[in-house]
Amino acid sequence: MTQVHNRDWKAEFRRLEGAFSPHTLRAYYTDIGAFVDWCEKLELDWLPTTSEILCRHLNWMAQRGLKFTTIRRRLYAVRRLNMIMDAPELTRDLGVDLTVRRIRRAQPNRPGQARGLTGDVLKIMIDAQPDNPWGLRNKAILSLGYDLLARRSEITALRTDDVTWRPDGTLEVIVRRSKADPFGMGRLAFTSQRSAELVGEWLAWRGPDIGPLFCGIYRGVAIDRALSGASIKLVVKNAARAVGYHETIVGEFSAHSLRVGAAQDLLKKGHDTAAIMRAGGWSSVTVLGRYLAKAEHNVWA
């Protein structure tokens, strides 16, 4: 066993903290831990990772029925492992590329996507919220998340001073950090008058001395702590339950439904690709195309 193999990979990966998002680091730890455990059970050397061992592992994952996105993520994680451990790079060869292509061709299914929460459904969900502090907050989350085409991480990262009221009764919002903007350059976004009104009502109840725009509520009192991404997902799912959706449909909704539905609505309203990309902070037309794939937009009607 080589000297590099004896080093603690978890300790080495701490060097990445701050350079990557917590979500990315969690994915690395999960994938690399699974790969190392698999190798050790089979008494295989996992470092440096050879193309033969990596291909064997990828095929094993495919045989177990794991999705291609998971398999591809594991591939990237193993390559990152070798890089951070200063091990020779032995996995970038034709054998690995062909293995990945075979797995991809054997899984022709379309990528999964959250059910789009479109404007007509959104209005019903907002109207169904209870007349209490939680209802005030959740109305604002639903409306603002839709208008900003926001990811749940973007919603939870919003600060009170990121929001500015405009003379026309709408909001100007700085979305400071996102999946596509890891260095926090930020993007400028705008909202409807409805969102401005709902955010104003929420802030009037919440008070001025709390940093996160959307915070937790404990025993009827706002607390100075941002909501988690899981909380945003629950807001959307509970809103779907409140309007009578069956649990099978509720399961198709997630926090991402706000982003998906808003993009589909913008397409149906006739906005061009550049405008939709600008509104949602997309930098790739290909990625945007996946969001619009299920839009009920008949160009012949």
Which CATH number goes with the domain that contains 24? 1.10.150.130
Are 224 and 283 contained in the same domain?
A: yes
Are 90 and 222 contained in the same domain?
A: no
| Average of per-residue pLDDT values in the chain | 92
> Do 261 and 118 touch, CB atoms closer than 8 A?
yes
Are 257 and 125 contained in the same domain?
A: yes
Q: Cα dist. 104→34, 59, 71, 113, 118 in Å?
A: 21, 11, 9, 18, 32
Are 61 and 205 contained in the same domain?
A: no
Are 71 and 190 contained in the same domain?
A: no
Does residue 300 fall inside a structural domain? no
Count of structural domains within the chain: 2
Digit-by-digit pLDDT tens for the chain (301 residues) are: 444 455 689 999 999 998 888 889 999 999 999 999 999 999 999 999 999 999 999 999 999 999 999 999 999 999 999 999 999 999 999 999 999 999 999 987 666 688 999 999 999 999 999 999 999 999 999 999 999 999 999 999 999 999 999 999 999 999 986 666 666 678 999 999 999 999 999 999 999 999 999 999 999 999 999 999 999 999 999 999 999 999 999 999 999 999 999 999 999 999 999 999 999 999 899 889 888 888 888 877 7
Does residue 299 fall inside a structural domain? no
Helix (H) or strand (E) holding 222: strand 221-226
> Do 91 and 46 touch, CB atoms closer than 8 A?
no
Which CATH number goes with the domain that contains 178? 1.10.443.10
172: left (phi over 0), alpha (psi -120 to 50) or beta: beta
Q: Is 112 helix (H, G, I), strand (E, B) or coil?
A: coil
pTM over 0.85: no
Does residue 280 fall inside a structural domain? yes
Q: How many residues in the chain?
A: 301
